[in-house]
Structure 1
Amino acid sequence: MIKLQEITFGYTRHRRLFDGLNLQLEAGRIYGLLGKNGAGKSSLLRIMTGLLYPNGGKTEVLGHIPLKRQPSFLQEVLFIPEEIYLPPISITKYLKTQSPFYPKFNEQQFRYYLTEFDITYESKLDGLSFGQRKKVLIAFALACNTRVLIMDEPTNGLDIPSKSQFRKLVSSVFEEDRLMLISTHQVRDLDNLIDAVIVLDDSEILLHQSLEDISKRLRFTTLSSVENDHRVLYAEPSLQGYTVVMEDSAQLENLTESKVDLERLFHAAIQQPERIRALFSTPSLSKAPTL
């Protein structure tokens, strides 16, 4: 669905943000894009949606070249940026002006999502808080039923109950012919939502794997001691000893396996990039066959 080949991009002539970046994303997955501030997450999303033009390389989304911004592309790809702007009009009028651009928009779904977010349909956008406006935009995006939905920091401005509701709604609308890509630095907001993770570090794709594959090669557990344990990639003190990310091995015994911890996985990848690359050097999501 999304294919980036040898992408180069920079905001200045003397410094490139991306230099030969490759990435392929397929339908039927909810991807989480993680990275430190300044890693290039937002720029990457904007290249995918045609809002930034790469200096070189090839970008395809649903068979379209994003920078052409053709109607057939725009009606199937929806992007929610981190910084949002909604006009000072009613929700009803917003729908009348925006929904015609999306042939699969479903107003009944939209009303349901608003109710789930505790937003009144008759509200005026300029009378809502930032978090409430964000929820209106998320509800609208989900109701558009586009094949590709890309969100940059969608949970910024949401309170804890709303973040939980966000995860619930995104999971409920996902289908096998759709692709969702969510970028965030609030890693825990993606717990129990994504099924594949991409870590962008130093303008490169450091990790691109399904959570299933990660759970086969890494163990997320607690150890009483980590001294001289070469298997440990990342450790932090806890009441039980140390919470760790470690290489899985047939030699490990009596350890309680846990689900992938996205926050600790991210720390492990950033602190041990070479070991992560070596562990996942076999064919992976990021090296899928060229279509």
Structure 2
Amino acid sequence: MIELSQLTFGYGKQKLFDNITLSLKPGHIYGLLGMNGAGKSTLLKNIAGLVFPWSGTCTVNGVSAAKRLPSFLQELFFVPEEIYLPALTATKFADSTGHFYPKFDNKQFIQTLADFDVPADRPLTKLSYGQQKKVLIAFGLATNTSLLIMDEPTNGLDIPSKAQFRKVVASALTDDRCIVISTHQVRDLDNLIDTVVVLHNQQIVLNQSLDEIVEKVNFETIPANSTNYLYAEENISGLNAITQKTEGSYTKVDMELLFNAIITNNKTLTDALNQTNHEQHV
């Protein structure tokens, strides 16, 4: 689906990525995590062909993203962080824009608006920022493009809307669709994504499924005086910790804890995560 090979990019003299290689496949919901300023939005723009790499390549379905061919654009929808919508109702917006996407499903669009509790007959410019965001998310889901990219989509959404967002996005995934969601609000993607991609220090430092991660480390609460951990943070009952995998134990990935550990440049943890299963069992 998406292949980045030795991609280097920056603005002016500021380099954001240095020889990044990344492969994303259909049938997955990827969570692109990184600190503010790490370049998450810029990486998504490279994938969408909105900016061009200094060197290296970015292809989507075997086609260079930078060429922005009509066949490429028909299979891509990008929900940016900052949105600007016309003074149309959601229904009129779908009528004027949906035909650019061959698999656009108007019934799905209207149903998702209803799920989000957003009126379809009010001018978009009269809606709150959060409601406008929901309209664009609903439209993106209804395009049924093979690639859907969303940049900080939960910004502006209240807590109930974030829960509904996770539900409708999960239901829109198919075996031939790839969904990439960037955020710095890590917990917003809990119970939604199946693969974590972390951008840090100009590199992709992690690209693994949650299933792969729990095969390598545990996430657990341990006593405050414990020292046997890869990374830990204090809580009222001890330590939230990432520990070495023990045979027969399986725990849920704590993505916020995982992300915090990685951005502290915890080499012991990243080495453990980047081990292959073969290396672990040798």
Q: Is the 8 A contact 2:146 2:176 kept in 1?
A: yes
Partner of 2:218: 219
Q: 1:93 to 1:228 in 2, by over 3 A?
A: closer
Could you tell me which amino acid in structure 2 is paired with residue 269 of structure 1?
Answer: I
Partner of 2:149: 150
Does residue 248 in structure 1 map to residue 241 in structure 2? no
Does residue 164 in structure 1 map to residue 163 in structure 2? yes
SS of structure 1 residue aligned to 2:243: strand
Q: Is the 8 A contact 1:80 1:152 kept in 2?
A: yes
Q: Is the 8 A contact 1:234 1:267 kept in 2?
A: no
Q: 1:226 to 1:67 in 2, by over 3 A?
A: farther
Alignment partners' CA distance in 2, 1:282 and 1:5: 22
Across the two proteins, how many residue pairs are aligned to each other?
A: 277
Does residue 8 in structure 1 map to residue 8 in structure 2? yes
Alignment partners' CA distance in 2, 1:34 and 1:210: 13
5+ residue gaps, structure 1, are: 285-291
Partner of 1:26: 25
Alignment partners' CA distance in 1, 2:114 and 2:104: 17
Alignment partners' CA distance in 2, 1:248 and 1:211: 14
Partner of 1:199: 198
Does residue 264 in structure 1 map to residue 263 in structure 2? no
Encode CA deviations 1:181-204: one digit per residue, 9 max, x unaligned.
000011111000000001111110
Encode CA deviations 1:32-86: one digit per residue, 9 max, x unaligned.
0000011111110000000011011011001211111111000101111101110
CA RMSD of aligned residues (A): 1.5
What displacement does 1:115 show?
A: 0.4
Alignment partners' CA distance in 2, 1:276 and 1:101: 45
5+ residue gaps, structure 2, are: 278-282
Partner of 1:287: none
Encode CA deviations 1:1-22: one digit per residue, 9 max, x unaligned.
000001011101x332111110
Encode CA deviations 1:95-119: one digit per residue, 9 max, x unaligned.
1221110010001101100000001
TM-score (norm. length: structure 2): 0.94
Could you tell me which amino acid in structure 2 is paired with residue 242 of structure 1?
Answer: L
SS of structure 2 residue aligned to 1:17: strand
Partner of 2:184: 185
Partner of 2:113: 114
Alignment partners' CA distance in 1, 2:107 and 2:68: 28
What displacement does 1:257 show?
A: 4.7
What displacement does 1:283 show?
A: 5.2
What displacement does 1:275 show?
A: 1.8
Partner of 1:91: 90
Runs (4 or more) in structure 1 with deviation over 4 Å come to none
TM-score (norm. length: structure 1): 0.91
Encode CA deviations 1:134-184: one digit per residue, 9 max, x unaligned.
000001000000000010000000000100000000111111111000000
Correspondent of 2:232 among 221, 232, 235: 235
* Percent identical: 50
Partner of 1:135: 134
Encode CA deviations 1:178-234: one digit per residue, 9 max, x unaligned.
1000000111110000000011111101111100010111111111134432xx122
Alignment partners' CA distance in 2, 1:49 and 1:283: 31
Matches within 5 A, 1:272-291: 272-282=265-275
SS of structure 2 residue aligned to 1:10: strand
Matches within 5 A, 1:29-108: 29-108=28-107
Q: 1:238 to 1:55 in 2, by over 3 A?
A: same
Q: Is the 8 A contact 2:231 2:269 kept in 1?
A: no
Q: Is the 8 A contact 1:206 1:273 kept in 2?
A: no
Partner of 1:288: none
